[in-house]
Structure 1
Amino acid sequence: MGMSVGSGSGGDDSDSYKPLAEINVTPFVDVMLVLLIIFMVAAPLMVQGVPLELPKTSASKIGAQKKPMVVSLAPDGKLYIRDEEVTRETLVSRLEQIKAQEGDSVVYVRADRKIPYGDVMELLGRVGDSGYARVSLLSQPAPSGASANN
């Protein structure tokens, strides 16, 4: 890209000179690509923060790990809350007691694959009746390459 020069007619040069009014963006793109590479390299270094030597304390951790709330339905039809066996009649009241002591958390429901679907749905309803809003079903992951019908 340059300037255009008129034909050499021998007349006045000021009439024949017409500058080319285009912007050459190639240097601009080159500079932007170099800046992009610099920022890509420098950004992870800025995340590190300032190296500090923090003081030691004897305070306990704030979020102590609680035992997960697992309700299990065994193949023989028995119900368990964690490792404690409960009856169908006392399931809701026991879950309400635990919720009052430990607070609201996720309830994980496990059931043997031979248990009928209706029984599992009844168990889910009872867990919901106890006041727990977040219920999750647990399953065993299938080995790779195996069908889900095993």
Structure 2
Amino acid sequence: MALRLDEGDTELSEINVTPFIDVILVLLIVFMVAAPLSTVDVPVDLPGSSAPVSQRPEEPLWLTLTVDLDLMLDDSAVAREALGAALDAKTGGKRDTPVFLRADRKVDYGALMQALNRLRDAGYLKVALVGLEDAP
């Protein structure tokens, strides 16, 4: 005895990928918009340098001196008096950790020297000055 299937009882053997493609396109757009936002740093106009480019560590410790003469440790503002304590908290008290100092090109030399003096007073002597690579 043969079973007879009505037209409404047939199974589809094809996969409908249209919803999957829609989801992937939406995720792609979300990541395209969100990726630049996650890499935004403290805005600073760095001066150029002709020094050879050195290898960047995996997790650098950034200290930024903005055009308004504010100190930023990574992405958070730090009071000048609390710089040593903030650095100790960030490094776990390891004072041989290199600190990458970025300063806006409009910052005067005296303010840069004050930041360097505060780093020295806090015991952080490994300081690298960061600049943009000049074209030859």
Structure number having the greater strand percentage: 2
Q: 1:94 aligns with which of 73, 86, 96?
A: 86
Q: Please list every run of 5 or more consecutive structure 2 residues that lacks an aligned counterpart in the other structure.
A: 1-56
Q: 1:105 aligns with which of 97, 103, 111?
A: 97
Normalising by structure 2, report the TM-score: 0.52
Structure showing greater relative contact order (alpha-carbon pairs closer than 8 Å, 6 or more residues apart): 2
* Matched residue type, 1:89: E
**Structure 1 CA distance for aligned equivalents of residues 117 and 61 of structure 2:** 16
**Structure 2 CA distance for aligned equivalents of residues 82 and 115 of structure 1:** 18
Match in the other structure for 2:63 = 71
Match in the other structure for 1:115 = 107
Secondary structure of the equivalent of 1:98?
A: helix
Match in the other structure for 2:125 = 133
Question: What's the C-alpha RMSD, in Å, of the aligned pairs?
Answer: 1.9
Normalising by structure 1, report the TM-score: 0.48
**Structure 2 CA distance for aligned equivalents of residues 138 and 70 of structure 1:** 9
Secondary structure of the equivalent of 1:113?
A: coil
Secondary structure of the equivalent of 1:89?
A: helix
Pairs aligned (count): 80
**Structure 2 CA distance for aligned equivalents of residues 108 and 115 of structure 1:** 16
Identity of aligned pairs, percent?
Answer: 34
Secondary structure of the equivalent of 1:71?
A: strand
Match in the other structure for 2:75 = 83
